[in-house]
Amino acid sequence: MSVETTKIEAKLKGAWDRECWFYHLRGVAFLVPWLVGIFLVDLLIDWLFDLPGLLRVVLLLANLAVLGWVGWKRWVIHLRRFDATRVSLQVERLHPKLNNLLVSYVQLDADSKASHGSPRMIEVVRDQAAKSASGLDFTGIVNFMKLRNLGIIAASVLVVFLASSVFLGEYYLILMGRMLNPFTSLAYPTRTRIEEVVIVRTNPQKQLENIVVKPGDTPVAIKQGDEATLTAIVGGEIPEQGTLFLRFGSDSWEEVVLEPNDDNHFIQRFPKVTQNFTYYFRIGDTRTKRFEAKVVTPPRLTASKVQLNFPSYTSRDPKEFKGLQVEAMPEGTSVAWDLQCDVPLQSGRIIFAGEPAKSVELTIDPENNRRAFIEINDFSNVMPETSGRTNVVSLAYTFEWTEAEHGFTFADPTRHTLEILPDRAPVITLIKPRSGGTADKIISTTRKNLQMIFEVSDDYGLGNASIIYRLNGEAQVRRKSLGAFPVGIKSGMFQEHWLVKDSLPELKEGDILTCTIEATDNRGGKVGPNVSQSPTFRLMIVSDAKYEEFVRSQTTQGLERTTSAAQEELISSKKVKSLIPEK
């Protein structure tokens, strides 16, 4: 290979290198304005809207996509690998007098198998091409002056950007930090500083709880119906007014104009919070992140059932009700509640109305903390006195729930009622003996075999009968059992005999017995049976002679009453007949 040939190949590669530099410079000149423009647009958007981290990630990806597209269209696709034929064609267009000698030189490579013809002839052509091109400048295929305007624009943009960094350098660095680390807490400097945002929860008992709100925190939970106060603590340059932006639920944003107090606090009070809301402060040249407040609603019953387990003396099977409305139940009934709520529960109570109100803790199911249950066997501690009552007793109650997530306690205002039928005492009617004699006393002797006939009835069943008596008005009450009523019987007429001497061997003339018949029902438990007593009757013990005299007087009085009745009937008959007209 001759020296001239080597020079031509070097000049072709030099021209290709110059072409590469041209496109590199042009690509950079295109990218600089785009890069500066995107940077400034990002700064404006991020500063105005204080983009959250996720949106900054999206913005960064969009920036890379735009810059990649510009670099591809204005730079990468123009870069080519070295091709001697292509470069020689460019040189031929620059120097037409070569008349295709340079192209022939490249294509007629003596060492190439693709070259056909006499090697000597090929060598002659190549030497002639080399001599013709040796004095020519190949670099003219690229004119860097075409980049002058583009370069001036790029340089101007870069100079202005660098000059602005003297004043805005802190903003530029913060933007770079926020874009490269989208979830950083870096913030742009402002004349006004919102140093802290506080939300104060106030429950009806006026108990306060201050919560400092920070970006990224979970929404602050507020109990529904409680009072809430939003406070922005401001430092630096304090403006005369600030703005609180609020959005309740999915409604549109609302603006509330605030003025600072003496402590430079911007405060907005909500007497009663009822729904979730999003908020942020804009005060002076700064603003906060968006914060959320979550209103915790009361637990709501989604399912409920009540089972009444009736007392044994009623002989009734248990009865279950879907819901909380149940039928009136006999006194002594056991009540079991099984309740299901829509949120997990920490605890629950059932509160019975009264002065004072009384409550019983519910049991939370350890395997399903949305479920609560309780069984109450005795209502005597939570209901008014029912002794002697025959009417229905209404026992009102409500529920109180403490939800598990935040520990808020809610009183359910819905009132439910249990109607309790007090077990009435048996009704006893004394048929025999009847009172009679002096001072309403029954005259008898010490051998008296007292015959008693009485009727007894009860709602659910009878228990036992006894005769209760006192001797001569003594304080001590004596009792003689007359036995138990037949099992399961609710009413009937019963006859008993009592040989008084058997119970009172010391009985003597002149004694007075005050007696009553007592009957009980079959109610059990610690309350015990209900008791009723018949009207009181008295026995006056006399001698046999006086008893005979009493019997004779009663007989005489009976005859006189019979004669008098006959005479009255005769007189009445005559009067009636006198009123009938004759035919």
Residue 326: is its pLDDT beyond 90?
yes
Burial of 475 (0-12, 13-18, 19+ CB in 10 A): exposed
Distance CA 31, CA 23 (A): 12
Locate 385 and state its tokens: 């006195």
The continuous run of DSSP H or E covering 126 comes out as helix 119-133
Inform me whether the pLDDT recorded for 438 exceeds 50: no
Closest CA to 443 of 533, 509, 518, 517: 509
Pick the range with the lowest mean pLDDT from 135-149, 254-268, 359-373, 468-482: 135-149
At residue 94, does pLDDT exceed 80? no
Give residue 129's pLDDT: 62
Q: Is the peptide bond before 182 cis (omega within 30 degrees of 0)?
A: no
CA–CA dist 98, 458 (Å, integer):
138
- 203 vs 433, more confident: 433
Token look-up 């009523």 returns: 485
Cα-based angle 77, 78, 83 (whole degrees, multiple of 5) = 110
pLDDT value of position 387: 45
Per-chain mean pLDDT for the chain: 85
Phi-psi region of 523 (alpha: psi -120 to 50; beta: other; left: phi over 0): beta
Question: What residue segments make up the domains of the chain, in order of their start?
Answer: 3-180, 192-296, 301-421, 427-542, 555-583
pLDDT of residue 318: 94
Reduce the secondary structure of 334-403 to three states and give it as a string. Answer: EEEEEEEECCCEEEEEEEECCCCCEEEECEECCCCCCEEEEEECCCCCCCCCCCCCCCCEEEEEEEEEEE
Per CATH, the number for 192-296 is: 2.60.40.10
Range of weakest confidence among 3-7, 169-173, 443-447, 518-522: 3-7
CB 246 within 8 A of CB 279: yes
Please write the tens of the pLDDT for every residue from 243-264: 999 999 889 999 999 999 989 9
Instruction: Burial-class residue 88 by CB neighbours within 10 Å (0-12, 13-18, 19+).
Output: buried
Query: Based on C-alpha coordinates, what's the Rg of the chain?
Result: 57
Query: What mean pLDDT comes out for the span 83-96?
Result: 79
| Tokens of residue 8, six digits | 């031509």
For residue 437, pLDDT beyond 50 = no
Identical fold at 192-296 and 427-542? Answer: yes
Spatial separation of the C-alpha atoms in residues 280 and 274, rounded to whole Å = 19
Q: What is the pLDDT of residue 141?
A: 79
Q: What is the pLDDT of residue 367?
A: 94
pLDDT band for 144, please (50, 70, 90 cuts): confident
Res. 114 pLDDT band, cuts 50 70 90: very low
| Average pLDDT of span 540-545 | 89
Q: How many CB atoms lie within 10 A of CB 149?
A: 10
User: Residue 123 — very low, low, confident or very high, per pLDDT cuts 50/70/90?
Assistant: low
Domain 427-542, CATH among 3.40.50.300, 2.40.160.50, 3.40.50.1100, 2.60.40.10: 2.60.40.10
For 301-421, the fitting CATH number among 1.10.287, 3.30.420, 2.40.50, 2.60.40 is 2.60.40
Per-residue confidence (pLDDT) for residue 113, from 0 to 100 = 46
pLDDT value, residue 203? 72
Cα of first residue to Cα of last residue in the chain, in angstroms, is: 185
Q: What is the pLDDT of residues 265-316, one digit of tens each?
A: 999 999 999 999 999 999 998 888 889 999 999 999 999 999 999 988 888 8
Tens digit of pLDDT for each residue in 363-396?
999 999 999 999 999 887 887 664 445 678 889 9
Q: Beta strand pairing status for 409-411 and 291-296?
A: unpaired
Beta-strand relationship, 462-471 and 512-521: antiparallel
| Average pLDDT score over residue span 505-523 | 91
Residues 37-75 pLDDT 10s: 999 999 999 988 888 889 999 999 999 999 999 999 999
Contact criterion met (CB below 8 Å) for 355 and 344 = no
% of the chain exceeding 70 in pLDDT: 85
Instruction: Tell me the C-alpha to C-alpha distance, in Å, between residue 509 and each of 172, 293, 456, 477.
Output: 126, 94, 33, 20
For the chain, the 3-state helix, strand and coil shares in percent, each to the nearest 5, are: 35, 30, 35
Average pLDDT on 95-102 reads 70
Q: Is the dihedral of CA 166, 170, 171, 177 positive or negative?
A: positive
Q: Which residues contact 165 (CB under 8 A, 6 or more apart)?
A: 172
| Interstrand relation of 358-361 and 345-352 (parallel, antiparallel or unpaired) | antiparallel
Cα separation of 210 and 192, whole Å?
23
Give the Cα separation of 13 and 10 in Å (integer).
Answer: 5
Alpha helices in 443-543 (DSSP H): 500-503
> Strand, coil or helix: what is 117?
coil
